[in-house]
Amino acid sequence: MPAWFKDWIANVYQSPWLTDKPFDYLIHHIIENNYYRHSDWLAEHHWEAIRYVMEVDNNER
């Protein structure tokens, strides 16, 4: 998992306006807006990214 994505999960994903959104929405949001200019990576590794976030989420509870 790229460092930029881990940073995004640790910071942006924790923002209050994002926490009530399904993660699938967040992935598409990044892809559409090309945040970090890594849309191509996210589009290609969509499920891997979701799996990673679910693991992080489970480990924090």
pLDDT in tens, the chain (61 residues): 888 878 877 776 666 555 566 767 777 777 777 766 677 777 788 788 878 877 776 665 4
Computed on alpha carbons and rounded to an integer, the radius of gyration of the chain in Å comes to: 11
Q: Which pLDDT value is given to residue 25?
A: 74
Whether the CB-CB separation of 31 and 42 falls below 8 Å is answered with: yes
Full domain range(s) for residue 56:
3-60
pTM (predicted TM-score): 0.51
Q: Which pLDDT value is given to residue 61?
A: 47
Q: How many domains does the chain have?
A: 1
